[in-house]
Chain A
Amino acid sequence: ETGVTQTPRHLVMGMTNKKSLKCEQHLGHNAMYWYKQSAKKPLELMFVYNFKEQTENNSVPSRFSPECPNSSHLFLHLHTLQPEDSALYLCASSQRTSGLQETQYFGPGTRLLVL
């Protein structure tokens, strides 16, 4: 798991708070992803960045705001969340130039609880 790191690992926030999740990949990849994992449900793709450009926003509410300053770092800014946003948020990265045979590698996730 040292390839993709995420901080914090756990976060508790109120509905009026603003917080940010951070992801860093040490694999030299050029694409990064945010996923939401809820219990007993498939992973939900939220955002995709390719060479720092956002290429996918999977109908995510505006209270989630991604930022990708460079190919190694990805942030998810959180604002006025709802209790149903409580979940495990996973970051992943891949090497896009290897073609569609690329493999996504995941970080350990941030466990978010919204009160």
Chain B
Amino acid sequence: AQSVAQPEDQVNVAEGNPLTVKCTYSVSGNPYLFWYVQYPNRGLQFLLKYITGDNLVKGSYGFEAEFNKSQTSFHLKKPSALVSDSALYFCAVRDESDYKLSFGAGTTVTVRA
């Protein structure tokens, strides 16, 4: 079985400050990890993924995520948050032997001006 936990329902940061959205996962094999963002009244937009290789993955809109196998984490980061980054963020995991994605419950990010 595979699962994802996003321990924070909400993250609030000031514009210009670093942003971190936490994600931990559980899979039986090697994980494939994804981050998606959902703006109001929109679908999920793909941000980045980790499959193999470098533990630091860079994605769209200046976001990056770090894969940590020992801590089973895949936290999303942005060095300097923008008000336009305010949205709902989802972490997802897939076991290497399965095509089905398991999603976390989402974290609402609010960036204040």
Residues of A within 8 A of B (CB): 1, 4, 6, 31, 40-43, 45, 48, 56, 90, 92, 94, 96, 100-109, 111
Contact A102 B99 (CB under 8 A): yes
Q: Mark B71-113, 1 if CB is under 8 A from A, else 0.
A: 0000000000000000000100010111111111110000000
Contact A43 B90 (CB under 8 A): yes
Q: Chain B: how many interface residues by the 8 Å CB criterion? A: 26
> Nearest-CB distance from A87 to chain B (Å)?
14
Number of A-B contacts (CB under 8 A): 58
Identify which of B43, B49, B99, B104 contacts A109 (C-beta below 8 A).
B43
Tell whether A100 pairs with B45 under 8 Å between CB atoms, given A42-B4, A42-B104: no
Residues of B within 8 A of A (CB): 4, 9, 32, 34, 36, 41-46, 49, 51, 90, 94, 96-106
Contact A108 B43 (CB under 8 A): yes
Expressed in whole angstroms, the Cα–Cα distance for A109 and B9 within the complex equals: 22
Contact A41 B94 (CB under 8 A): no
Contact B43 A103 (CB under 8 A): no
Expressed in whole angstroms, the Cα–Cα distance for A51 and B44 within the complex equals: 23
Contact B43 A43 (CB under 8 A): no
Ranked nearest first, the 4 interchain pairs of A and B with the lowest CB-CB distance are A106-B43, A106-B44, A43-B103, A108-B43
Identify which of A90, A96, A111 contacts B44 (C-beta below 8 A).
A90
| Residues of chain B lying within 8 A (CB to CB) of residue A40 | 9, 105-106
